[in-house]
Amino acid sequence: MMNVNHTEETPGENTLLRLTPRPPLGWNSFDCYGCAAPEDALLENAEAMARLLKPGGYEYFVVDNGWFAEYEIPAGKRYPAVKHADDVNLDAYGRLQPSKCYFPHGIKGLIDRVHGLGLKFGIHIMRGIPRKAVANDLPVLGTPYRASDIAEISDTCEWCHYNYGVNMDHPGAQAFYDSFIQMLAKWEVDFIKADDITGHPREIEAIVKAIRSSGRDIVLSLSPGGQTTPEFMDVYQQANMLRTTRDIWDNRDDLDKAFDVWHAYSEFRKEGFWLDLDMIPFGHLQLWNPRTEAKAYAETRTSQELSGKGHERMSGLSVNQKYTFITIRALAASPLFMGGDLPSSDEFSIDLITNEGMLECNQNGISGSRVYAESGIEVWKTPHRTAAGEGWIGVFNRNRETKRVQLTFGQLSLDDSVPAELQSIWPEPAYEHFEGGLTSEIEGDGVLFLHYKSRS
């Protein structure tokens, strides 16, 4: 494992710092449209993002998996009855193309509109080469090789069947990735979410190399977190973002996952490289799986095949859990990518993710650490990047029931010899000072989120 404290400049490090000096902020289509996001819904979300999120600094508009999938959509329906299609759209060189069912006029119009709104466009890719390219034995652009020469047919993704892995020992492997990324660069893509990849360091390096040779600035996000291991951290850190969790959804158990990986991985954060706790499942979710068909889906699909989590709904997180969810991501300096459908999500969710104090903490760009833990009460502290004696504290009640909390300034990791001004980021809960500390009654799954600043 690499020495995480080394400061020697590595290739591309200046690019990382230039492109992502602070945690990226954006929107992603997966939590609301799964792998079946129609063009009109995406355009509506782009317009809403420019209006609702862009003023807070959100800029990356990301279309997730399935943009290339040729679904058979039942008559009278807008969405498919399956998560993954049986066919995909390819060009003559085995490169995925926008599906004709959801992008009959291509995807460039959407990209141009996103850019016209002052946003940046992102797209999801699966690791590897399409199985259809191998079945048709299509050529690899600019080489004498064919898809069947570079495919590793024993290497498949267990949850998405579109691709085979690539044999990176073959001389045509890098050329395939180069041609695919070059195509995306010509489309004016600004952000790539590469999936099923954190267990495959050589293919990460191939995509990094392809981006560097593409002639375009492109942010690289690595996913999923389920395969992530510190063993490959030196490779991961060539990208801009790394998913450290599996898919996170709107349930209490996934709050625990976020706490666990925050604690386990925070030491690996470095400038320009951000540890990603996954998307924000707030607002209107799973529109692709309408409630009227929920029973049929539940009877015929596992929860994993349903992307986790059932039918169309508003987020299942309670108010307290939403406060805790977004406070974790603020203090951890995680990238913030809203997952709910923006035109139809609730105002409270939008207010949370655009809260000025929360964003100031998140964009401070320092991942906090746990400084106190006892009886389900945890204190996490994030220092200010440049101002000594200033920063943020989260006092989390990880119990289900309300707890009366009394903590000394020492337990808050504050210098009790230097008075500090405290200000709540959230309107609740209230707190009271006592000499040398504070008390607060925090409801189950709630959090007291404070900005602190020494008076001296």
Say what the pTM is. 0.94
Q: Which residues pair with 408 in a beta bridge?
A: 437
User: What distance separates the 2 farthest-apart alpha carbons in the chain?
Assistant: 77
pLDDT of 420 above 90: no
Helix pair 39-52, 108-116: axis angle to 10 deg = 10
Count Cβ atoms below 10 Å from residue 229 Cβ, excluding itself.
11
* DSSP characters over 30-58: HHHHTT---HHHHHHHHHHHHHHTGGGT-
> What pLDDT shows up at residue 82?
85
CA-wise closest residue to 433 among 425, 452, 375, 355: 452
CA-wise closest residue to 160 among 134, 131, 121: 131
> What pLDDT shows up at residue 435?
87
- How far apart are the C-alpha atoms of 358 and 449, rounded to whole Å? 9
Tokens of 12: 């591309």
Per-residue pLDDT tens for 374-394? 999 999 999 999 999 999 999
Under the banding of pLDDT at 50, 70 and 90, the label for residue 83 is confident
H or E stretch covering 112: helix 108-116
Q: Which residues pair with 157 in a beta bridge?
A: none
Question: Domain residue spans in the chain?
Answer: 13-363, 369-454
- Mean pLDDT computed over 137-159: 96
- Mean pLDDT computed over 237-264: 95
Give the alpha-carbon dihedral of 94, 99, 103, 107, to 10 degrees: -30
> What pLDDT shows up at residue 5?
34
> What pLDDT shows up at residue 279?
97
> What pLDDT shows up at residue 11?
52
| DSSP-derived pairing of the beta strands 431-434 and 437-442 | antiparallel
Q: Which residues contact 366 (CB under 8 A, 6 or more apart)?
A: 333, 382, 383, 384, 385, 391
The Cα angle at residue 258 between residues 255 and 260, in degrees rounded to 5: 110
- How far apart are the C-alpha atoms of 62 and 27, rounded to whole Å? 6
- Mean pLDDT computed over 62-67: 97
The Cα angle at residue 24 between residues 426 and 252, in degrees rounded to 5: 50
* Secondary structure of residue 347 in the 3-state scheme: helix
- How far apart are the C-alpha atoms of 289 and 446, rounded to whole Å? 30
pLDDT of 307 above 60: no
> What pLDDT shows up at residue 419?
77
Per-residue pLDDT tens for 389-416? 999 999 999 999 999 999 999 999 998 8
- Mean pLDDT computed over 213-227: 93
DSSP state of 341: B
Phi-psi sector, 141: left (phi>0), alpha (psi -120 to 50), beta? beta
Which class would CATH give 13-363?
alpha beta
Count Cβ atoms below 10 Å from residue 75 Cβ, excluding itself.
4
User: Could you say which architecture CATH assigns to the domain 369-454?
Assistant: Sandwich (2.60)
* Secondary structure of residue 265 in the 3-state scheme: helix
- Is residue 86 classed exposed, middle or buried when 0-12, 13-18 and 19+ CB atoms within 10 A define those classes? exposed
Per-residue pLDDT tens for 168-191? 999 999 999 999 999 999 999 999
pLDDT of 294 above 80: no
Buried b (16+ CB within 10 A) or exposed e, 118-139: ebbbbbbbbbbbbbbbbeeebb
pLDDT of 296 above 60: no
- How far apart are the C-alpha atoms of 375 and 392, rounded to whole Å? 22
- How far apart are the C-alpha atoms of 322 and 327, rounded to whole Å? 8
- How far apart are the C-alpha atoms of 374 and 273, rounded to whole Å? 31
State the residue for tokens 């307290």: 320
